[in-house]
Structure 1
Amino acid sequence: MTETPAPETPLLDRIAEPADLRNLSDRDLRQVADELRSETIHAVSRTGGHLGAGLGVVELTVALHAVFDTPRDKLIWDVSHQCYPHKILTGRRSQMNTLRQKDGLSGFTKRTESPYDPFGAAHASTSISAALGFAVGRDLGAPGNGDAIAVIGDGALTGGMAFEALNHAGHLKKRLIVILNDNEMSIAPPVGAMSSYLSRLYAGNPFQDLKAAAKGAVGFLPGPLQEGARRAKEMLKGMTVGGTLFEELGFSYVGPIDGHDMETLLGVLRAVKTRATGPILIHAITKKGKGFRPAEHASDGGHATARFNVTTGAQSKAPSNAPSYTKVFAESLMQEAADDDRIVAVTAAMPDGTGLNLFAERFSSRCFDVGIAEQHGVTFCAGLAASGMKPFCTIYSTFLQRGYDQIVHDVALQRLPVRFAIDRAGLVGADGATHAGSFDIAYLSNLPGMVVMAAADEAELRHMVATAAAHDDGPIAFRFPRGEGVGCDLPERGAPLEIGKGRMIHEGSRVAILSFGARLAEVEAAREKLMARGITPTVADARFAKPLDRELILQLARDHEALITIEEGAVGGFGSHVAQLLAENAVFDTGLRFRSMVLPDAFIDQAGPHQMYADAGLNSDDIERRVLSVLGVDVLERRA
């Protein structure tokens, strides 16, 4: 793909840090915003990443940094996939070509990356809580803290944590600024009563009428506020079409205002900065993907993209060699649902990412998007299961963490047959540590009565969907990675597996490798390398972390000098349960050499998935080295 020349940005070129914005006129700030939008499009076209959300807040980003004294004033972006323009303005412009790459800039805000990132984020609904913490810290004398400003999208308001924070902030009455970035779009269209409420706030109130009214009222403002203000708190409250919900929570409500009108934004922010005493919410209407036609017309507002052509919007994507795990899951679930009308599917604001958009097209009355509300989603599924339905709770591993208490208390304790379909298991690449599915094996397999499976390939995934559909004796979970499958032959229909039974892949001698999940392909590659050295390992696929296949594991231990487990999860998971089983059966007394290959005790930053697994020590070369080591083969001998 031919790279488009960089746009001309004469004013942006003069901005080394946000303080430089404060020396510009309002007219110049409008030009900076135009240039920043072009620069953002150009930057993401070269690296890929989150695009639409950032384009929607370009004017807001410029206005916030121009009005407030960042980094003393703490600017906190909810989720923060909209932070690329913010990164460009805060001294990281020259590094944008490293975005989401190994040793490069994170795709999200990150405290260790810049003093302008006071709080890291990549999960939704956290900004108001964090900003309130900064506000209280300021008032208690924490040094270096000015105003606290949270920018939260309308989709993130579907998360219960945001309401908890609003409720607490309204009670404390601290000076806190919350900006609601309302674009009617998070990753998917937002759902629920909050979305409907926000739509009603501005449905019959054109922006041009607000602007005209504001200009006519400027002369009535106190003298000190006339210059550049144009929007005082009292004036805006007089024009509001109703922020009753927020006002009942203890917030002064300002808006709705046009989030792309620089004059409006600057006036409102200056007035709020001058006059606000307690918590205040500014309701700004924006358009996701603003200024880039392909993004504006995309169903998701150009949320995430690969590298693309700036002129056409055409993305540079390698052709698929195999169906994605997500697609195989969705198609398999639809097969089961066609034969069982008790099957329902639930997602938490990720219908496209989980493949449930396909399910919804066919079974609309049996598919539910609960919004960014994983806790509610899990307990909703518990209620569905208690009612006699067969819910598939379909949530990324990293997001399922947010519903853990509900998994324990509402599902496992009551032994309810909720089926957890866990997408994005393991390391996920450019999104980095915040989105890695590192912990679900450990946090699920320690729960009584929980069945935990992991698919070694897309065919196994199809069987595990069928297994979950047939399982009614308590909760069951199956995990699968992001991206393409291995290209194996797919069965026409999945067949239920025997609970707690693994499978032998290759018979060998001396050392056995017991794989749990999608590292099996790397184990196979390692076996080929070892066979070239005269070592023929036994390879088995555990399929289940809970219940363990006791018979298979004890047989492997009995028949081999060494046993190695491997999994795409943290310590405390599958390998730990195998070690416990071996200890309980006094197997270690026989001299068995046991090793467990797991993700390291560290958060692994973004890179390509293969590189991340190399960093984690879980690729085929690492498996080969571990086998040689456990068998006592010297490294120099191996290289000879």
Structure 2
Amino acid sequence: MYIEKIQSPANLKQLDLKALKVVADETRKAVLNRVSKHGGHVGPNLGFVEATVALHYVFNTPTDKLVFDVSHQSYPHKVLTGRVSGFLGDMEAMDAVSGYSSPTECPEYDNFEVGHTSTSVSLATGLQKARDIRGTKENIVVVIGDGSLSGGEAFEGMDEASELGTGIIIIVNDNEMSIAENHGGIYKNLRALRESKGTCEHNWFKAWGFEYKYLEEGNDVEKLIEVFRSVKDTDKPTIVHIHTEKGHGFAPAVENKEAWHYSMPFNVENGSSLEGPEHESYDQLLSDWMLQEMKKDKTLIAVTSGTPTAAGFTAEKRKQAGKQHVDVGIAEEQAAAMVSGMAKGGLRPVWTVVSTFLQRAYDQIAQDLCINSNPAVINVTGGGVLWMNDITHICLFDIPMLCSIPNLIYLAPTTCEEYFAMLRWAILQDKKPIAIRIPTNGVNHTTEAVDAAYGYEPKYKMVHRGSKVAIIAAGSFYQKGENVVRLLADKGIDATLINPRYLNAVDADTLDSLMTDHQLVVTLEDGCKDGGFGERIASYYGPTEMKVLVGGVKKDLYDRFDLQQLLSDNRLLDEQIVEDVMRSL
């Protein structure tokens, strides 16, 4: 096996073309070995194997700088830069290798922590400027997929690269896909360029001042080497547009590109899942509910931003929704402003977005949506400790972020029934933008009645009135609050249990009512406690004698954390919370 002996790209340069093709085959098998056992991004990595071999063969990394976008195609790069054990080793070895570009893991070859999209060109222009000022000669090489071109920062980066006017090589990996299909006007030109083999009259890249080369055979090592050699050491901003096949070399991933963008562990022989039976999920429930409501209300519009299945809108459901589903591509800023305009125009938009990706649209939510008080709905999915855990994808900051924006109500349902009641109310009301944090701790049902209407001023729900200790447990941590109350009962404490429902503001009446017979309030929230929901309550009680224990996760950048360890480190295990209550009393 070649790849077991390759410790750096320098080893590649000693091989002939025939051996390089074997390296590509071995690299693809190594990637499949990892993702089938460990899970990960399948299609993007398989499609970029040959290009990675060619890049490291032609360019002199790490002297030449290679910058990946999103990192969904960085696995082959890792195989060839001394991390093959993360693909052929045991599970511990695989766990040691991130699924994303990471200089903390490999500072020599990974230039940036990258997991969010459309950032590569902008990052690379900084390296470009630094090289130009220092007077050195290294190549700056960017790898960006066609899907990432829909993000606004990609436009800004290319604008600056063209303005700088010096050597930068941008590899556009065009596999005709984002996570799902591409959306946006630029893709009409990409299609025209593919169909004309790069010769059509209108060329978006040339119009921006780039030198341009096209390669149809983007999975051919020999031709990739040829085109990369032709641009190496260029002194001009240059685009190399290569047409690749997402999932190349693995039939299931080629046949169903969207489903195989990312996968949990699977049987590599036939692609069958190794996971257990599917459980009830909010994405499926949401899309089914939306499709049903759309039939009755043509103004109800489902909006997604590059991740339609986060809202349950699979290809078949997107087809059913027709014009009542809009995917803006990887462009959360556009989504935030667009739903504001939709609401202003008399539609009822519901934008579903993953917590970590919502961060890109802070200003648009504040400026374009909330200042204008347009009644759009934002579904925030994945928020908290129970979803993704890579450093670039942690979902701990949506509560402090959204709750800092005036005129936005942020609701935290605790059960399926409460979620859909809040969603229906948010869609039908016409006064304010409403965000709803979809629970991440599974679909919990209740037989208790839930409110159908929610006002614009916060009103907490007193689920059980006790004394001495009050547990205020929000959203996905509500069931944890229930557990804590039960454990306290075993110790003779009849604790109050409150479902706050509103994350953005305090219910002064409820908090004041606790002053008469409580001495301790415990807040529990599934996210960063710094600037969060609990600190707001602690601040309210500041001038009083009420003690407050704020339960949440300490502000930090966590990478591939172990859930139980993270909860333990932050005193969020049920037993730890009870211990802290008893100690405080």
Same fold (TM over 0.5): yes
**Count of paired positions:** 580
Change (3 A) 1:535 1:577: same
CA RMSD, Structure 1 to Structure 2 (Å): 2.4
1:605 paired with 2:559, answer yes
1:524 and 2:475 aligned: no
2:178 matches 1:246: no
Residue among 573, 581, 594 paired with 2:540:
581
Residues 168-215 of structure 1: CA deviation (Å, up to 9, x unaligned): 11111020010000001121110121112111112254xxxxxxxxxx
Query: CA 1:395–1:201 in structure 2 vs 1: closer, same or farther (change >3 Å)?
Result: same
Determine the C-alpha separation between the residues in 2 that align with 1:102 and 1:273.
Answer: 33
1:258 partner SS = coil
Matched with 1:178 is 170
Query: Partners in 2 of 1:508 and 1:37 — Cα distance?
Result: 61
C-alpha change, 1:142 and 1:515, in structure 2 (3 Å) is farther
Q: Which has the larger radius of gyration?
A: 1
Partner of residue 596, structure 1? 550
Which of 142, 166, 170 is 2:158 aligned to? 166
Q: In the alignment, which residue of structure 2 is the partner of 1:212? A: none
Q: Which amino acid aligns with 2:123?
A: A
Matches within 5 A, 1:297-312: 297-300=255-258, 302-312=260-270
Could you tell me how far 1:103 is from its partner in structure 2? 6.4
Query: Which residue is 1:222 aligned to?
Result: none
Is structure 2 residue 377 aligned with structure 1 residue 419? yes
- SS of residue paired to 1:511: strand
In structure 2, C-alpha distance between the alignment counterparts of 1:403 and 1:47, rounded to whole Å: 32
User: Residue 449 of structure 1 aligns with which residue?
Assistant: 407
1:189 aligned partner: 181
Instruction: Quickly say closer, same or farther: Cα 1:367–1:301, change in 2 above 3 A.
Output: closer
SS in 1 for 2:112: coil
Q: Counterpart of 2:307?
A: 350
Q: Does 2:82 align with 1:91? A: yes
- Deviation track 1:392-439 (CA, whole Å, cap 9, x = no partner) reads 121111111111111111111111112111111112445423222222
Is 1:121 the counterpart of 2:75? The answer is no
Matched, 1:267 2:221: no
Amino acid at match of 1:378: A
CA contact (8 A) 1:51 1:305 kept: yes
Write the distance in 2 (CA, Å) between the matches of 1:482 and 1:303. 22
Q: Which amino acid aligns with 1:568?
A: D
Question: 1:426-457 CA distances to partner (integer Å, 9 max, x unpaired)?
Answer: 12445423222222211222222211111223
Match of 2:127 in 1: 134
1:240–1:254 Cα contact (<8 Å) kept: no
1:557 and 1:440, CA in 2 relative to 1: closer, same or farther beyond 3 A? farther
Whether the 8 Å CA contact 1:167–1:250 is kept in 2: the answer is: no
Residue 62 of structure 1 deviates from its aligned partner by 0.8
CA deviation after TM superposition for structure 1 residue 599, in Å = 1.6
Letter of the aligned partner of 2:365 in structure 1? I
Letter in 1 for 2:84: R
Tell me by how many angstroms 1:543 deviates: 0.4
Give deviations 1:74-115, integer Å, cap 9, x for gaps.
111110022111111111111345789996322111121102
Q: Percent identity?
A: 35
- TM-score, normalisation: structure 2: 0.94
Q: Which runs of 4+ in 1 moved over 6 A?
A: 98-103
For structure 2, list consecutive stretches of 5 or more residues without a partner in the other structure.
Answer: none
- Of the three residues 38, 41, 49, the one matched with 1:50 is 41
1:155 aligns with 2:121: no
Q: For 1:526 and 1:159, locate their aligned partners in 2 and report how far apart those are by CA, in whole Å.
A: 44
Preserved CA contact (<8 Å) 2:9 2:61? yes
1:37 is aligned to 2:28: yes
Tell me the CA shift for residue 161 of structure 1: 1.1
The 3-state SS of whatever aligns with 2:536 is: helix
Match of 2:68 in 1: 77
State the SS of the aligned residue for 1:92. Answer: coil
Kept in 2, the 8 Å contact 1:417–1:471? The answer is yes
Query: Given the superposition, is the C-alpha separation of residues 266 and 37 from structure 1 closer, same or farther in structure 2, using an over 3 Å criterion?
Result: same
Query: Could you tell me how far 1:242 is from its partner in structure 2?
Result: 5.2
Instruction: Name which of structure 1's ranges 77-86 and 282-291 shifts more when overlaid on structure 2.
Output: 77-86
Q: AA paired with 1:349?
A: G
How far does the alpha carbon of each residue in 1:514-540 deviate from its partner, in whole angstroms, 9 at most, with x for none?
011111112222233332233332111
CA contact (8 A) 2:284 2:312 kept: yes
Q: Contact conserved, 1:333 with 1:465, CA < 8 A, in 2? A: no
Amino acid at match of 2:170: V
Compute the displacement of 1:610 (Å): 4.6
The Cα shift of 1:30 comes to: 1.1
Q: Relative to 1, partners in 2 of residues 1:541 and 1:277: Cα closer, same or farther, differing over 3 Å? A: same
Query: SS of the counterpart of 1:525?
Result: helix
Q: Give, in angstroms, the shift of residue 301 of structure 1.
A: 5.8
Letter in 1 for 2:361: G
Residue 278 (structure 1) aligned with residue 236 (structure 2): yes
CA shift, 1:155, in A, is: 0.6
Cα offset, 1:618, TM superposition: 2.6
- AA at the equivalent of 1:308: F
1:359 Cα shift? 5.6
Report the CA distance shift for 1:177/1:489 in structure 2 as closer, same or farther (over 3 A).
farther
1:269-297 deviation per Cα after TM superposition (whole angstroms, max 9, x unaligned) = 112114x1111000001111110111111
Matching of residue 627 in structure 1 with residue 574 in structure 2: no
